[in-house]
Amino acid sequence: MAEGIAGLLEEYAGLEAKMADPATHTDMALSRRVGRRYAELTPIVTALSDKERLTADLAAAEELAGEDPSFAAEADSLRDALGAVDERLTRLLAPRDPNDSRDAIMEIKSGEGGEESALFAGDLFKMYQKYIEQKGWSMEVLDSQETDLGGYKSITFAVKGKPSAEEAPYGALKFEGGVHRVQRVPVTESQGRIHTSAAGVLVMPDVDAEEVEINEEDLRVDVYRSSGPGGQGVNTTDSAVRITHLPSGIVVSCQNERSQLQNKESALRMLRARLTALAEEEAANAAAEARKSQVRTVDRSERIRTYNFPENRIADHRIGYKAHNLDVVLGGELQPLVTALQEADLAERLAAATGAAD
């Protein structure tokens, strides 16, 4: 452990030097990598500094308390503070997903339920949009297919966090991946019957271009005319782009920009994220027998959550989370659920680390 911490401190010092070097910031890709890793290590280094300071203060307070009992209360307070720092360090040093510090790309697709499913996909998008605003992050819609009633057949958007922030979008949003089920009376239902429909959410790390090698010969690029709800033309040129990655069969498209070049760049960005997610899914499946994850994030066919409108209830089936505040959650107050999922994942990672150590 001591050797590992010494290595982290040495790495952090090297990153500080790079952050101060103007040459680092002339290379945008290098600057992003250095900044991302620096943001990962800063909370750990801060906690280690706090631990060192509190340990010295506690030793001094205990020595004084031996001579003057009035210092006993201060020693108890420092002991509690040191325990809290130790707990924070345990969390920070637990094995983690290396993509947690990245930005995210999210895709929402309507599923079973026709127009009602598309409207639900729109509700999910608004929920994430409000949550992202609360976090102080930014959102960029990369592609969308809207329906006549204002829902979405599909919508793909990128979420960008704050530089050097302790929490990044992917680490918070990755547990949203899976099938979301809704139970409510659709606006298209004339007899007041409750229907069940679903929408799928895919969450992927937003990776840099140089991190994923894509051979141009493996791509089929098609261009077509953008269209809006009901086929209404919104562009008179062939600016929309569809890219098929032949080896994997992954298809991505983008029509939101006016420029064909911009749409192609956005589509390639989506493709890099999809390829990264696919590689991680294959790795997770290969390791499934060795470690079954309590909070799975890559199985897009898994029903993870139910939104019950008549009971104003939201339930996450992976961790047994239930709350009767669906209206509040759809208004963007997603953090309690995100925190519960992160806590469950942390407990599992700590248990796995303890088991490996034994």
Element (H, E) at 236: none
pLDDT score at 296: 44
3-state class of 55 per DSSP?
Answer: helix
* Per-residue pLDDT of the chain in tens (358 residues, 90 and over written 9): 666 788 888 888 999 899 999 999 898 888 888 888 888 888 889 999 999 999 999 999 999 988 888 889 999 999 999 999 998 888 888 878 888 989 999 999 998 778 899 999 999 999 999 999 999 999 999 999 999 888 999 999 999 998 766 689 999 999 999 999 999 998 777 677 888 899 999 999 999 888 888 999 999 999 988 765 444 444 556 789 999 999 999 999 998 887 899 999 999 999 999 999 898 888 777 655 444 443 444 344 578 999 999 999 999 999 999 999 999 999 999 999 999 999 999 888 888 766 655 5
What is Dmax (Cα atoms) for the chain?
Answer: 86
Paired tokens of 271:
């493709």
Q: Partners of 224 in the beta sheet? A: 240
Q: How far is it, in rounded angstroms, from Cα 39 to Cα 32?
A: 10
Q: How far is it, in rounded angstroms, from Cα 103 to Cα 211?
A: 14
Q: Are 314 and 323 in contact (CB under 8 A)?
A: yes
Helix 2-20 × helix 28-67 angle, to 10°: 130
User: If you write DSSP's letter for every residue of 238-295 in order, what string do you get?
Assistant: S-EEEEEETTTTEEEEE-SSSSHHHHHHHHHHHHHHHHHHHHHHHHHHHTTTT---SS
Residue ranges of domains in the chain: 2-93, 104-348
pLDDT score at 237: 62
Q: Are 259 and 239 in contact (CB under 8 A)?
A: yes
List CB contacts of 137: < 8 A, sequence separation 6 or more: 159, 160, 161, 162, 169
CA dihedral of 222, 223, 225, 228, whole degrees rounded to 10 = 60
pLDDT score at 176: 96
Paired tokens of 191:
């007899």
Burial of residue 32 (CB within 10 Å: 0-12, 13-18, 19+) is middle
Residue entry with tokens 């782009």:
241
pLDDT score at 162: 84
pLDDT score at 134: 95
Fold of 104-348: Alpha-Beta Plaits (3.30.70)
